[in-house]
Amino acid sequence: MPTIDEIARLAQVSPATVSKVVNNRPYVSAETRRRIERVIAETGFVPSQRARGLSQRRSYVLGLMVPYTSDQLFSDPHLLEIMRGIEAEANLREYNLLLSTARAPADAASACVRLLRSDVIDAAVVVETLDLQPFTVALTEQTAPWVVIGYAQQAATHTVHADDYGGALLATRHLLELGHRRIGLITSNPRPFALEERLCGVRDALGEADLVLDDALIAVGDLSTASGEQAGRQLLDRSHPPTAIFALNDRMAFGVVRAAADLGLRVPDDLSVVGFDDISQAALLTPALTTVRQPGYALGVAAARLLFALLDGKPPGPLGPIPTELVLRGSTAPPRTLERG
């Protein structure tokens, strides 16, 4: 492995001049530059990032902290999408991505602080899980930039999140436009911030149609498919069941579809079902699930951009939510009552 000194010797210049060439700095004659570049190409020289980092006080590495608890907010493919987005943006800046998973948020928090203090990473992206508290406590005490993907309690922390509100608005409007008036809702308890937002979206969309969310049409799950099935059955067992059900995440929507099947109801003919997230299985379900797509890739890109802005010392402008998208598939249709009328 050649060092900068060897390159300098071979090109008969000083290391300082080689450094200028490598970093595209001026005050090197065209001829000298060419000579050095040839030597670099011949030897396959790649500057040592750790040496470079040492003098520049940068590691050119971004950290991605994933407090990987079982009750995590996001489904796995979504996480991979986020990583792809961060990676893509990081690559543009010649940054690399370091992954740190941990069982509990508390562990992840201390690991993150260690990584920052030991200057393995220059900045960190934290994926929100239900309990972000350990992070905010540990990370606000140090100066390196960090960004949360999700929602945060403290207003001071920089966050990037999808337009959960807008997505729910779109989905609900879609059902209303199809003619549904009795719309069941499945939320969860405890309710993460994202679901809170979605709930607001539903309320406002109903409000636009001069409807109010009927408490009797709200069921509560725990985000799992099983809980969705149970909640769905509860709604459908009512004397006056809803003609459509909006589950605030896809997995619970799957449960609803299963509950409907058990009761002999056909989706979408007898019951429309809408989910949220657009996890990969959603398209494979029969019927394919109408849902709101979480823009994982875009979230990753936005988080990385924000981080770089902070690293560059630029005051980041207020960042709006990343647009979500309604994906129309086969699980929604006009209600039967309309067809009859």
Partner DNA sequence: ATACTATCGGAAACCGCTTTCCTAGTCGTT
Partner DNA sequence: AACGACTAGGAAAGCGGTTTCCGATAGTAT
Which residues of this chain interact with a copy of itself, rule CB under 8 A?
1, 44, 46-51, 53-54, 59-61, 64, 68, 76-77, 79-80, 83-84, 87, 96-101, 114-115, 117-120, 225, 254, 258, 280-281, 284, 286
CA distances from residue 266 to 211, 274, 282, 332 in whole angstroms, order as listed: 26, 14, 17, 11
The residue count for binding DNA (CB under 7 A) is 32
* 218-221 sheet: strands from edge to edge: 218-221, 183-188, 244-247, 272-274
Partner in contact with 22, chosen from DNA, a copy of itself, none, beta carbon below 5 to 8 Å by kind: DNA
Shortest spacing between CB 144 and a copy of itself, in angstroms: 9
Give the length of the chain.
341
Are the C-beta atoms of residues 193 and 133 closer than 8 Å to each other? no
Q: Which of 99, 77, 74 is nearest to 249 (CA)?
A: 74
Q: How many CB atoms lie within 10 A of CB 297?
A: 20
Q: Is 44 exposed, middle or buried (0-12, 13-18, 19+ CB in 10 A)?
A: exposed
- Which one, 13 or 282, has the nearer CB to DNA? 13
Region binding DNA by CB under 7 A among candidate stretches 43-51, 91-99, 195-203, 289-297: 43-51
**Is residue 96 a contact point for DNA (CB under 7 A)?**
no
**Is residue 116 a contact point for DNA (CB under 7 A)?**
no
**Is residue 56 a contact point for DNA (CB under 7 A)?**
yes
- Which one, 176 or 226, has the nearer CB to a copy of itself? 226
Query: Which residues, other chains included, contact 329 with Cβ-Cβ below 8 Å and sequence gap of 6+?
Result: 282, 283, 287, 288, 289, 290, 291
- Which one, 287 or 316, has the nearer CB to a copy of itself? 287
Which three-class secondary structure state does DSSP give residue 320? coil
- Which one, 93 or 182, has the nearer CB to a copy of itself? 93
CA distances from residue 276 to 66, 90, 198, 254, 263 in whole angstroms, order as listed: 21, 28, 9, 11, 23
Shortest spacing between CB 128 and a copy of itself, in angstroms: 18
Region binding DNA by CB under 7 A among candidate stretches 47-55, 94-102, 189-197, 288-296: 47-55
**Is residue 9 a contact point for DNA (CB under 7 A)?**
no
The amino acid that residue 114 corresponds to is R
- Which one, 37 or 196, has the nearer CB to a copy of itself? 37
- Which one, 297 or 308, has the nearer CB to DNA? 308
Question: Residues interacting with DNA, by CB under 7 A?
Answer: 2-5, 12-20, 22-23, 26-33, 45, 47-48, 51-52, 54-57
